[in-house]
């Protein structure tokens, strides 16, 4: 097993199963990968049986099953491409399959989902809206990916909020998912955040006065920037986000540095490091006046938990720090210690 495969497994292993990958599939796929160039092909191959089961279910009019199978295939195709920036053609093919499978799944999910496009900076951002049954308009949570995640990864996260009566809007921002080909990563997430909130607030299913944001990893930086720059955000969750991303450049894996270089359109490692330093909450954290929940793990090998503590301390609104002694990056190895608590916290603040 080469260094990059080992790093992917060591850093993100629990994330796969927490976000819905079947444990047996995870073990089967990762144990067979010896070199990084095999990664995308292996995960794409693992997606195919789920896609075939979805097609079979559609033919037989078993629509709920079809939605489940196609969403699972989308998740596997997503993990095929998530950090595979060394082969852009192979990455894009896997990503197109992820998008295609999720699009097929959306009307058959419970509750259903639908694509919402947002014109932005000469391109467009794409989000998935899901609204639980019951009286409308509903409070909503904007679900923000990180450097290597995208909206195709968030079905289990969405379920946490949906079961508590909150709508979800999982969205690919600049440098993420469907937008990564046209728009680079940018530090001023209050700008795309404003476009996202404008669109979401105008939807008749959504209560514009009760919108929260949740972000993971680099999304745990984007969400606070969004909350700092737009008072329409009623509550903010930052999970494993950096305070200043570039300060941790040397401790990041080669996979992460390569992905940031590619998605920030940086010409080389030095330029990428400079761009990463621009992702900085200094001068912004103190503008967060809404309730803030910061979740971090003290065993995070990428982003020190002290970054989260600093964010919680500098925010001027009511803030809570949940620093888990045994949590890894994203705390996906201890989901029972934060995921339900986070969803309860968000629901309580958006119900007011």
Per-residue model confidence as pLDDT tens digits over 113-166: 999 999 999 999 999 999 999 999 999 999 999 999 999 999 999 999 999 999
Q: Are 193 and 214 in contact (CB under 8 A)?
A: no
Q: Residue 346 has which token pair?
A: 């968000």
Dihedral sign for Cα 268, 126, 72, 217, please: positive
CA distance 270 to 248: 13
**Quick one: what percent of the chain has pLDDT higher than 90?**
99
Which part of the chain is CATH 3.40.50.1820? 111-352
Residue 313 has a CB neighbour count (10 Å cut-off) of 12
State the pLDDT confidence band at 280, using cuts at 50, 70 and 90: very high
Give the pLDDT mean for 227-237: 98
pLDDT tens-digit series, residues 23-47: 999 999 999 999 999 999 999 999 9
DSSP 332: T
Which residue in 217, 264, 266, 319 is the catalytic one? Answer: 217
How many Å apart are CA 219 and CA 236, to the nearest integer? 11
* CATH class of this structure's domain 1-110: mainly alpha
Label the pairing between strands 138-144 and 113-120: unpaired
Q: Does the pLDDT value for residue 352 go beyond 90? A: no
The pLDDT score that the predictor gives to residue 1 is: 78
What does pLDDT average to over the chain?
97
Q: Token digits for 62?
A: 């078993």
pLDDT in tens, 79-109: 999 999 999 999 999 999 999 999 999 999 9
Q: For residue 273, give both structure tokens.
A: 């490091």
Res. 253: pLDDT tops 70: yes
Active site residue 266: no
> Quick check: 310 pLDDT over 80?
yes
Task: Look up residue 2 and give its DSSP letter.
Answer: -
- The CATH class, in words, for 111-352 is alpha beta
Total residues belonging to the chain: 352
């Amino acid at each position: 097993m080469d260094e990059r495969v080992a790093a992917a497994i060591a850093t993100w292993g629990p994330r796969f199963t927490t976000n819905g990958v079947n444990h047996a599939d995870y073990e089967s796929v990762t144990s067979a990968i010896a070199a990084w160039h095999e990664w995308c092909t292996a995960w794409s191959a693992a997606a195919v049986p789920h896609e075939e089961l979805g097609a079979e279910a559609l033919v037989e009019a078993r629509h709920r099953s079809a939605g489940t199978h196609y969403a699972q295939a989308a998740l596997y195709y997503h993990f095929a491409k998530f950090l595979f920036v060394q082969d852009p053609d192979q990455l894009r093919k896997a990503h197109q399959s992820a998008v295609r499978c999720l699009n097929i799944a959306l009307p058959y999910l419970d509750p259903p989902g639908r694509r919402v496009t947002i014109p932005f900076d000469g391109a467009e951002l794409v989000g998935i809206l899901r609204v639980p049954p019951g009286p409308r308009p509903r409070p909503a949570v904007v679900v923000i990916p990180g450097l290597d995640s995208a909206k195709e990864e968030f079905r289990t996260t969405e379920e946490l909020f949906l079961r508590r009566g909150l709508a979800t809007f999982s969205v690919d921002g600049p440098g993420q998912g469907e937008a990564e080909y046209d728009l680079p990563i940018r530090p001023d997430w209050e700008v795309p955040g404003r476009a996202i909130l404008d669109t979401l607030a105008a939807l008749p299913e959504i209560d514009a006065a009760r919108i929260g944001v949740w972000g993971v990893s680099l999304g745990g930086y984007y969400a606070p920037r969004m909350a700092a720059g737009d008072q329409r955000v009623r509550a903010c969750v930052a999970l494993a986000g950096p305070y200043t991303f570039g300060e941790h450049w040397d401790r990041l894996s080669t996979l992460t540095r390569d992905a940031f270089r590619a998605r920030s359109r940086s010409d080389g490692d030095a330029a990428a490091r400079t761009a990463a330093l621009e992702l900085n909450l200094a001068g912004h954290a103190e503008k967060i006046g809404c309730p803030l929940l910061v979740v971090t793990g003290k065993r995070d090998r990428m982003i020190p938990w002290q970054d989260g503590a600093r964010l919680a301390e500098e925010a001027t609104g009511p803030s809570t720090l949940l620093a888990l002694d045994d949590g890894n990056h994203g705390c996906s190895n201890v989901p029972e210690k934060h995921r339900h608590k986070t969803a309860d916290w968000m629901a309580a603040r958006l119900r007011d």
